[in-house]
Structure 1
Amino acid sequence: MRLLLMSDTHLPKRARQLPAPLLDEIPRADVVFHAGDWVDTATLDLLESRSRRLVGVYGNNDGAALRARLPEIAYADLGGLRFGVIHETGPAQGRETRCAARFPDLDVLVFGHSHIPWDTTAPTGLRLLNPGSPTDRRRQPHCTYMTATITGAGLGEVELHRLPPR
């Protein structure tokens, strides 16, 4: 099973559209995750229309229209793994311990907000993934997104993709 992870698209505020390499990944993915800060409903409509399955949440920059359509926290059971999606997890320091305590039944937590890619594993085994932002790199060298696979053994390869400058 192939997964596509993104967050913090901030359209059309930070870019006019999603980058072509990211759009090309959507039909290849069995499940698309978006960890909030869409900003416009057009991006949600686009991902809903192009994705086989979309798991998304609203972020702190998302208004009433997005909050009416998306939860604050989403869950998905995929290939024997329990996924959670949330926009914000708080400061980097102590993140693994804090998230493991808050989400003891999850195997993988996808989050956003910081625009900083993150891939760590808590002592409990919880994998924390932040794909960064495909449209607003902030202080990062590149705009980014992630892909991952689920194999019979669990979460397989997780890859951070760097997008070319706009």
Structure 2
Amino acid sequence: MRLLLTSDTHLPKRAGRLPGPLLDELDRADAVFHAGDWVDTATLDLFEARARRLVGVYGNNDGPELRARLPGTADVELGGVRFAVVHETGPAQGRERRCAERFPGRDVLVFGHSHIPWDTTTDDGRLRLLNPGSPTDRRRQPYCTYMTARVEDGALSGVRLHRLPRRR
């Protein structure tokens, strides 16, 4: 099963449109995770129309219309892997411990907010934390990013961070 992980699209404030490579992945993925800060409903509409399966949450920049359509946290099991999705996890220091306590029994946590790609596991190795960064707003990062991964034989594999070309 092919996965697309993204967050913090911030349309149309941070970019006029989504990058082509992200849209290509959206069409290829069996499941798409969006960890919030959509900002406009048109982006959610686009993801809902094109994704085979969408798992999304709202973020701190999402207004009442998006909050009415999306949960603050989401849980889903795909191919034997238990996922949680949330927008914000707090400061980097202590994140793994806090998230292990907040999301017991999950294998993977997809989150956003910082626009900083993140890929770690808790000390006990039970929970993997993934932040795909942002495909439209790199903030202090050198590139805009998103992630892809696979679920195979009941495990997450092939996690890859994709750097997008700089916009002109």
Q: How many residues align?
A: 166
Aligned to 1:97: 97
The aligned counterpart of 2:166 is 165
Q: Distance in 2 between matches of 1:104 and 1:76?
A: 13
> Once superposed, what is the RMSD of the aligned Cα atoms?
0.6
Unaligned runs of 5+ in 2: none
CA distance in 2, matches of 1:153, 1:108: 12
Matched, 1:59 2:55: no
User: How far off is 1:105 after superposition?
Assistant: 1.1
| Aligned counterpart, 2:12 | 12
- Counterpart check, 1:139 vs 2:140: yes
Distance 2:129 2:36 in 1: 16
Supply the distance in 1 between the matched residues of 2:31 and 2:96 (Cα, whole angstroms): 24
Distance 2:79 2:24 in 1: 24
Deviation of 1:153 after TM superposition, in Å, equals: 4.7
Q: Which residue of 2 aligns with 1:45?
A: 45
Q: In 2, distance between residues paired with 1:123 and 1:106?
A: 14
Amino acid across the alignment from 1:131: P
CA distance in 1, matches of 2:103, 2:64: 26
The aligned counterpart of 2:155 is 154
Structure 1 residue ranges (4+ consecutive) displaced by more than 3 angstroms after TM superposition: none
- 1:13-66 CA distance string (max 9 Å, x none): 000110001001111100000000000000000000000000000000000000
Give the TM-score of the pair, scaled to structure 2: 0.98
| Corresponding residue SS for 1:47 | helix
1:116 aligned counterpart, secondary structure: coil
TM-score, length-normalised on structure 1?
0.99
Q: For the residues of structure 2 that align with 1:164 and 1:44, how far apart are their CA atoms?
A: 23
**Is 1:23 the counterpart of 2:23 in the alignment?**
yes
Deviation of 1:96 after TM superposition, in Å, equals 0.4
117-126 or 61-70: which moved more?
Answer: 117-126
Instruction: Give percent identity, aligned residues only.
Output: 77
Gaps of 5+ in 1: none
Conservation of the 8 A alpha-carbon contact between 2:79 and 2:154: no
SS of the residue aligned with 2:45? helix
Deviation at 1:123, TM superposition (A): 1.8
Supply the AA of the counterpart residue of 1:55.
V
Secondary structure of the residue aligned to 2:85 is strand
Aligned equivalents of 2:50 and 2:89: distance in 1?
28
Q: Which amino acid aligns with 2:133?
A: G
Alpha-carbon distance in 2 for matches of 1:8, 1:107: 22
